[in-house]
């Protein structure tokens, strides 16, 4: 088992829910990313999702689009993200997933990129725009390197497609709780429970629910139906407001701790 699988097995044994936190790598710079990762580990985060900056992030709302832009402006590239993961690994074993678009893997070369991820200490990849029908070689290379391919399932995904996607995932399945792009919402979807039941008919993997969770109350509400929650834009928005302020890491970590406390009894 890699770190993701180990963490969810430990959570299951303890009867606890998981907290996945997304941030844009290199926002505002990669040293801040390293510091945030360590602070999140201390705050109770179970999986860290690092968005690799890309010029055309189609699945992202404005908050995460701007984070990607700031990451590009700070000189963040895929090799530098992996260097940062290696630096995190010197002090932390927090499970790490890269949230990435396929162009970046293709540019480096699929086999080379996946092997580089494994050497750096990455545990999984969430490739936003790689359809499962075209991922056989990707999945084989991921399995060989011990990495988890994380797949998305949406409210609009029909049952027959869930039956195709769910068995191919490893680590956990990411359920997108609403249609559209990433972003904060005033309230969470009412259909999460029934959607997760549809997914569980095809896979025993943990289901992490994301897109729109913005505060501890929403975190607690969604965690009641799922094995984990994913919070991104609400964290990224705080990073954007604080920027390079000396208190940025501590204040963002304090907010993340409120989410952890809400779902970790």
So which residues are the catalytic ones?
49, 60
Angle at 12 between CA 259 and CA 16, to 5 degrees: 25
Angle at 50 between CA 115 and CA 186, to 5 degrees: 150
* Separation CA 171–CA 34 (nearest Å): 23
* Separation CA 257–CA 259 (nearest Å): 5
The answer to whether 46 and 7 are in contact (CB under 8 A) is yes
* Separation CA 126–CA 59 (nearest Å): 12
The answer to whether 242 and 250 are in contact (CB under 8 A) is no
CA atoms within 13 A on the CB side of 141: 16
């Amino acid at each position: 088992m890699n770190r993701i699988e180990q963490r969810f097995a430990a959570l299951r044994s303890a009867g606890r829910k998981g907290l996945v936190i997304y941030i844009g790598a290199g926002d505002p710079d990669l040293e801040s990313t390293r510091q945030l990762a360590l602070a999140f580990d201390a705050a109770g985060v179970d999986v860290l999702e690092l968005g690799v900056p890309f010029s055309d992030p189609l699945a992202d709302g404005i908050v995460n689009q701007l984070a990607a832009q700031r990451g590009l402006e700070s000189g963040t590239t895929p090799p530098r993200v992996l260097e940062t993961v290696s630096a995190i690994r010197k002090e932390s074993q927090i499970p790490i997933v890269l949230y990435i678009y396929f162009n970046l893997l293709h540019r480096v070369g699929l086999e080379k990129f996946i092997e580089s991820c494994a050497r750096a200490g990455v545990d999984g990849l969430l490739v936003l725009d790689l359809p499962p029908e075209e991922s056989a070689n990707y999945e084989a290379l991921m399995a060989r390197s011990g990495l988890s391919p994380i797949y998305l399932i949406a409210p609009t995904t029909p049952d027959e497609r869930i039956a195709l996607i769910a068995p191919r995932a490893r680590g956990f399945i990411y359920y997108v709780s609403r249609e559209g792009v990433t972003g904060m919402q005033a309230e969470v979807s009412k259909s999460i429970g029934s959607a997760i039941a549809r997914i569980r008919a095809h896979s025993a993997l943990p289901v992490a629910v994301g897109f729109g969770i913005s505060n501890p109350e929403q975190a607690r509400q969604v965690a009641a139906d799922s094995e984990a929650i994913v919070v991104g834009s609400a964290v990224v928005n705080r990073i954007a407001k604080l920027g390079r302020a000396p208190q940025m890491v501590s204040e963002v970590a304090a907010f993340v701790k409120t989410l952890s406390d809400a779902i970790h009894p």
